[in-house]
């Protein structure tokens, strides 16, 4: 690719490649299916690669979708002056996408998204929580369980606790009984998660409220927190489980839609219902952009109570771009479909 014109290089890890690697590492087929489902956006966006290439071409850009196993060779051959690397699927431990922005930096290539160090941090909920707390952000304090043993005990809580895997995403390992009353129950959940996925669990005081997703794409490179799309994501339950997530995305989601059983959660703009909470979320996002280095594209998850109390749950540097909520954000904020929004973002960076 040396000497070619401006090119967007989209790096992604396919679900199947992850699934096969997990099987080879001794995971059960069920666990491998659940874990690899985290990479569903790679599956869901692939049918639109031709459309994305066309949207890039109308803006004078080349486009290349690169599977992660090929990325080292491809990036080494990219032209530093005219290539832009966008990592679609991140991850550590079970996933490997976090290597892509590091390889881009090694090869002196420009990137879309946060610094590569944040690709690792956001995938470790316990460590990320410690950093967010140090920035004086409203994150629930967490305990940590490995197997059936406490590594760090959580604070006392009158509202019970919520238990989730530390390094897995897409609601993997979150079951209908993940909200517990007493800490002893966390040890049993910790053993179940460790047996299935070989992961620790974080144990946080349960926080009430509705689930909120804040999405961000800086099509305009100078865009700030005012460009956030902040919505309640009401899926009909108190929290989304692994089964809920798998029904929406990837190969399982495709089958669900084909069978007519697909139902997207309702999206309600927080500004229209609780404008004070929305303003608090923008201030938190500004703090994360300045203090943590989030930029270009990211998402934030919150719980928002009726009195406008805001709890920051986690951040993502590779939000699910093909997901219904991010597509809705691109239409509402930028008046563009997803592939047009991606192509325009890249064109303004390379241009």
pLDDT digits (tens, 9 = 90+) for 266-324: 899 999 999 999 999 999 999 999 999 999 999 999 999 999 999 999 999 999 999 99
The class level of CATH for 210-335+344-350 reads alpha beta
Give dist(CA 326, CA 324) in Å, integer: 6
The ranges assigned to domains in the chain are 7-114, 141-205, 210-335+344-350
CA count, 13 A, side-chain hemisphere, 230: 26
If one compares 245 and 122, the residue with the highest pLDDT of the two is 122
Confidence of residue 128 (pLDDT cuts 50, 70, 90): very high
The predicted-structure confidence for 15-73, as pLDDT tens digits, reads as follows 999 999 999 999 999 999 999 999 999 999 999 999 999 999 999 999 999 999 999 99
| Spatial separation of the C-alpha atoms in residues 220 and 304, rounded to whole Å | 28
The Cα-based distances of 177 to 130, 164, 168, 169 in angstroms read 25, 11, 17, 18
What are 268's strand-pairing partners?
Answer: 232
Residue 239 has pLDDT above 90, yes or no: no
- Asked if 262 and 227 count as a contact pair (C-beta separation under 8 A), the reply is no
Contacts of 298 (CB under 8 A, 6+ apart): 113, 114, 216, 315, 316, 317, 319
Of 36, 29, 33, the residue nearest 15 (C-alpha): 36
CB of 182 closer than 8 Å to CB of 295: no
pLDDT at 252 over 60: no
Mean pLDDT calculated for residue range 214-220? 98
Measure CA 302 to chain center: 13
Measured in whole angstroms, how far is the alpha carbon of residue 82 from the centre of its chain? 27
């Amino acid at each position: 690719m040396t000497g070619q014109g401006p090119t967007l290089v989209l790096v992604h890890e396919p679900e199947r490649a992850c699934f096969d690697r997990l099987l080879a590492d001794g995971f059960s087929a069920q666990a491998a299916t659940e874990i690899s489902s985290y990479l569903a956006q790679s599956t869901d966006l692939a049918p639109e690669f031709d459309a994305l290439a066309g949207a890039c071409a109308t803006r004078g850009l080349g486009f290349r979708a690169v599977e992660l196993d090929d990325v080292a060779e491809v990036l080494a051959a990219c032209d530093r002056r005219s290539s832009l690397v966008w990592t679609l699927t991140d991850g550590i431990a079970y996933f490997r996408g976090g290597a892509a922005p590091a390889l881009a930096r090694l090869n002196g290539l420009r990137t879309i998204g946060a610094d590569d160090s944040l690709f690792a941090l956001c995938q470790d909920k316990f460590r990320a929580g410690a950093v967010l707390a140090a920035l004086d952000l409203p994150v629930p304090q967490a305990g940590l369980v490995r197997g059936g043993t406490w590594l760090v005990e959580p604070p006392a809580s009158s509202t019970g606790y919520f238990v989730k895997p530390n390094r897995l995403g897409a609601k993997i390992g979150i079951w209908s009984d993940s909200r517990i009353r007493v800490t002893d129950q966390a040890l049993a959940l910790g053993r179940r998660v460790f047996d299935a996925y070989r992961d620790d669990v974080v144990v946080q005081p349960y926080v009430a409220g509705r689930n909120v997703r804040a999405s961000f794409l800086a099509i305009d490179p100078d865009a700030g927190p005012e460009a956030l799309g902040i919505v309640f994501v009401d899926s009909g339950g108190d929290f989304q489980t692994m089964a809920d997530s798998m029904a929406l995305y990837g190969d399982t989601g495709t089958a669900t839609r084909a069978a007519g059983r697909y139902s997207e959660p309702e999206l309600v703009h927080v500004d229209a219902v609780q404008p004070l909470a929305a303003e608090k979320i923008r201030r938190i996002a500004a703090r994360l952009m300045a203090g943590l280095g989030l930029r270009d594209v990211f998402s934030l998850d919150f719980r928002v109570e009726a009195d406008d109390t805001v709890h920051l749950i986690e951040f993502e540097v590779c939000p699910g771009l093909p997901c219904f909520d991010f597509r809705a954000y691109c239409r509402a904020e930028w008046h563009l479909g997803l592939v047009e929004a991606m192509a325009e973002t890249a064109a303004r960076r390379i241009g």
